[in-house]
Structure 1
Amino acid sequence: MWPLLTRANRWAAAHPRVADAVLAALALAVALGGLSDGRDRGRGGGGLDGLDAAGGAVSSFSSGAVALLVLASAVLLARRTHPVPVAVVSAGAVVGAVLMGGADPLVSAPLLVALFTLGWLATLRTTVLTVVVAGIGYVLALAAAQGVFLDERGDSPALTVLALGGAAAAAGVALRGQRSALAAARARAAQAESTREEEAQRRVTDERLRIARELHDVVAHHIAVVNVQAGVAKHLMHRDPQQAEHALTLVREASKSVLTELTAVVGLLRTDGGDGPAAPAPGLARLPALVEDIRSAGLALDQRTTGEAVDLPPVADLTAYRVVQEALTNAVKYGDGHATLVVDHGTGEVTIDVVNTFSPRPSPGTGGHGLIGMRERVDAVGGRLDAGPDGSGGWRVRATIPRGTV
């Protein structure tokens, strides 16, 4: 049964004009059946004997009622686009048919369809007002046609039609509410899907930026060392082969380090859960090795640590390490060979100070993404970064990173 109703509903939705024509024809057939039954009952009860004697009076009475019922049914073809006018015209035509003797409840079939459509498509206030007015008109018309408001049992003969009219309108209102709820649910689902896709895209973008930042930090540091030591080796190749060999050894070690870290970073893009543990992210615990690498690259670095070292959260620890690495790499690339590094482990934060003097080459602020990357990292952990000339011919990078929760 339900599959049949579902198919019928789909067909009606696909062919609304044809469905409305079929519905109007059915309503007219039911109404005419009620008109015929009412006339037959009138004859059997003797109430229309005078009209029978008049002959043509019955024909006139029937044709007028039929014409009104045809009108009440025909306007249903426009029920989807003009529900209020259709309900008004249908109510007026049915009331007219009742005045002409159509007392059977079946005569109201077109009006019931119109009231259902009104509840479906019009506002609740319009629906209630129309139902009340149509009900009053029907009651008065039926009372005028039959000469009484109440039957011998004390009931209103119009009670059946009033109940059916209210039920039809209520069914239309319920259908409208159901469709509105369904449309709202679909809109929420579409919004949720769109939001989910946007969130996924944002996470992908954030992850790409993070990996790009890691690649920059890893490559920039080691390639700077390689570049400096390769230049030293070329300069000393003939004059001091032993020092040139040492410089090439440093180039080899830096190259090996950058390949190792690149493998770890790029491996993040290729794993789907991983078959083994990932290498731990670097932090301030690896600072001595970083300082040694920088000194091997030819930078005379004065490094000091103050305060009591306490473990930082992983992200903050990595941020602190990358800030030191980037600042010292800039000192190698743009400085005159001397720099100082101070790491102060305060009560609630870690402060990193890197100062180097300029060489005749461009300053660190003339391009690249190093400073931007440092600032983004520090901002992400709720810290603060200042970078720029220190007023005495040097360049200063100062980062303050809160400890947060370990």
Structure 2
Amino acid sequence: MTSQSTPRRVPPKVTDALLAVGVAVTVSIVITANEGGRHGPDPVAYLWAVGLGALMLVRRRYPVVVLAVSVLGLFAYYAAGYPAIGLAVPVAAALFSAAEHGRITASVVAALLVTTVSVIFRLAEGQDFSFVVGYELAGHVLLMGAAIALGDSLRSRRAAQADARRIAELTEARYRQEAQARLRDERIAIARDLHDSLGHTTSVIALHADVAREALGRDDDAARSALELIRSTARRSMDDLRRTVTLLRSADDAPRTVVSLANLDAVTRAASAAGFDVDVHVAVDTPLPAPVEAAAFRIVQEAVTNVVRHSTGSRVEIRAEQDSTHLTVTVADSGSDPLPSAEPAHHAVSAGGAERAEPSARGAAATGTVEPPANSGSGSGSGSGSGSGHGIAGMRERAESLGGTLTAEQRRTGFVVRAVLPLREPV
């Protein structure tokens, strides 16, 4: 891989030194021509040329002072009667320097002053008007104007480059912030997935561990069935963890493995094993966006987990219906009676013969007390996954992160969780 080397910039002091030498040499050569003047060049004239060049060493710090000294020095030179050196040549570098540092007004005023004084002085001496104004004036004005334009152009170019660098820095900072935001969102999504998955798993394991404990010595078949369900649930949980760790370790940007509404049997199996009659209806015609389908699956998972833990009913309905713009997910249970406040765990035999824990056992596991569903009053159903209400809050956060809505309410027929998710993520 080759890298492009950044061209080295000449240090400013070196540039100023070269410009000083150039001005001194140029003016000295013009003086040597010995054109006009009351007397020929002497060491003072050449010393003046050297001084004019030396001004370039401080042009960056004092651009207006350098310009003013150059103009006054030019007037003094001609007043002393030395050979003619023109107008633009002695002051061109000073005009350029002032314009380069943004002193356009000072440059223009100096150029006009030098031109006006020179023309008036030469005409007062009796020089030919056509020669002074018609021939020489245009060249002097053009040269001084070019010096000013060059200095201002260089200043503008540097300003544009500085602005471009600033824009590049701001753009880089914005991209870095966006990357950090994407990483933070991804971490939050992974944490939410782990919370929902592990919360569902631990709830199922706790429920059926309690069932197995109660069945030991009384119904060995029911105990073995509960233990088998615990084993299969734990294996699925480990698979989820393994996939998540693999995702975190992956060096590429491969798309995440997304849970699917087609895999709801993994969620409903636990409810069926707990004695619920589960009715699932998924009407999805087209492939859903991955974030929408993942959110829908997790909402169903959390809601069903809460039904298993808190519901006094015996039936749970899961609906997923899609229209042109939205996916609507509904989880409703048939429990309508309040949870008992503090009763020992009771068990009932479901229609299929499998023993399932009553709500007291589902809500409080082996403690014999009931954990009331948060945010649902005293009613039963798919309320919160914990007493602090993180279940409903987590489901609502998932829906709102996609621009959707989620409602969870106790009705006469049971507790209902309903999420409406847009099929397009918010811009």
TM > 0.5 fold call: yes
1:325 Cα deviation after fit = 0.5
1:30-109 maps to which residues of 2 (within 5 A)?
30-38=26-34, 41-42=35-36, 48=38, 72-73=52-53, 75-102=55-82, 104-105=84-85, 109=89
Contact 2:330 2:418 in 1 (8 A): yes
Moved more, 331-340 or 244-253: 331-340
Q: Residue 385 of structure 1: SS of its match in structure 2?
A: strand
- Name which of 331, 334, 337 aligns with 1:353: 331
Contact 2:190 2:244 in 1 (8 A): yes
- Name which of 376, 391, 396 aligns with 1:375: 396
Distance 1:93 1:226 in 2: 98
Distance 2:233 2:123 in 1: 106
2:332 alignment partner AA: V
Residues 337 and 131 of structure 1: is their aligned pair in 2 closer, same or farther, counting only changes over 3 Å? Answer: farther
Moved more, 364-373 or 234-243: 364-373
Q: CA RMSD in A?
A: 3.7
> What TM-score, normalized to structure 2?
0.73
1:221 alignment partner AA: H
Contact 1:30 1:107 in 2 (8 A): no
Contact 2:289 2:423 in 1 (8 A): no
Distance 1:140 1:73 in 2: 27
1:382 alignment partner AA: G
Q: Residue 238 of structure 1: SS of its match in structure 2?
A: coil
Contact 2:88 2:143 in 1 (8 A): no
Residues 99 and 212 of structure 1: is their aligned pair in 2 closer, same or farther, counting only changes over 3 Å? Answer: same
1:278 Cα deviation after fit = 7.8
Name the structure 2 match of 1:121: 101
Gaps of 5+ in 2: 1-6, 340-359, 361-369, 374-383
Are residues 1:293 and 2:303 paired?
no
Deviations 1:246-281 (A, max 9, x none): 211110010111122222333222334599x986x3
Are residues 1:313 and 2:288 paired?
yes
Residues 108 and 127 of structure 1: is their aligned pair in 2 closer, same or farther, counting only changes over 3 Å? Answer: closer
Name the structure 2 match of 1:51: none
Name the structure 1 match of 2:23: 27
Distance 1:122 1:95 in 2: 25
Are residues 1:185 and 2:164 paired?
yes
Contact 1:72 1:94 in 2 (8 A): no
1:322 alignment partner AA: R
Name the structure 2 match of 1:269: 248
Name the structure 1 match of 2:117: 137
Residues 103 and 339 of structure 1: is their aligned pair in 2 closer, same or farther, counting only changes over 3 Å? Answer: farther
Contact 1:236 1:243 in 2 (8 A): yes
Distance 1:141 1:354 in 2: 104
Contact 1:72 1:91 in 2 (8 A): no
Residues 151 and 106 of structure 1: is their aligned pair in 2 closer, same or farther, counting only changes over 3 Å? Answer: closer
Distance 1:386 1:214 in 2: 20
Are residues 1:151 and 2:131 paired?
yes
1:387 Cα deviation after fit = 2.8
Gaps of 5+ in 1: 1-5, 49-57
Moved more, 170-179 or 230-239: 230-239
Residues 375 and 309 of structure 1: is their aligned pair in 2 closer, same or farther, counting only changes over 3 Å? Answer: same
Q: Residue 420 of structure 2: SS of its match in structure 1?
A: strand
Name the structure 2 match of 1:399: 419
Residues 24 and 138 of structure 1: is their aligned pair in 2 closer, same or farther, counting only changes over 3 Å? Answer: farther
1:210 Cα deviation after fit = 1.8
1:225 Cα deviation after fit = 0.8
Name the structure 2 match of 1:283: 260
Deviations 1:209-263 (A, max 9, x none): 2222222222211121112112222233233333222211110010111122222
1:385 Cα deviation after fit = 0.4
Residues 94 and 381 of structure 1: is their aligned pair in 2 closer, same or farther, counting only changes over 3 Å? Answer: same
Name the structure 1 match of 2:308: 332
Deviations 1:298-317 (A, max 9, x none): 253553649x5534513323
Contact 1:149 1:156 in 2 (8 A): no
Q: How many pairs were matched up?
A: 373
Contact 1:101 1:145 in 2 (8 A): no
Deviations 1:146-188 (A, max 9, x none): 7333339x84334443332222112111211221121122122
Name the structure 2 match of 1:53: none
Name the structure 1 match of 2:204: 225
Q: Residue 350 of structure 1: SS of its match in structure 2?
A: strand
Deviations 1:79-127 (A, max 9, x none): 2123223223312321332344345336754411110101111254444
Deviations 1:18-68 (A, max 9, x none): 754664455345434433433xx44xxxx84xxxxxxxxx59x96886786
- Name which of 169, 174, 194 aligns with 2:148: 169
Name the structure 1 match of 2:377: none
Distance 1:278 1:166 in 2: 65
Contact 2:104 2:148 in 1 (8 A): no
Contact 1:105 1:161 in 2 (8 A): no
2:398 alignment partner AA: R
Residues 263 and 337 of structure 1: is their aligned pair in 2 closer, same or farther, counting only changes over 3 Å? Answer: farther
Name the structure 2 match of 1:384: 405
- Which is helix-richer, 1 or 2? 1
Q: Residue 130 of structure 2: SS of its match in structure 1?
A: coil
1:331 Cα deviation after fit = 2.5
Identity of aligned residues (%): 29
Contact 1:66 1:97 in 2 (8 A): no
Are residues 1:111 and 2:121 paired?
no
Contact 2:278 2:317 in 1 (8 A): yes
Distance 2:236 2:103 in 1: 74
Contact 1:30 1:106 in 2 (8 A): no
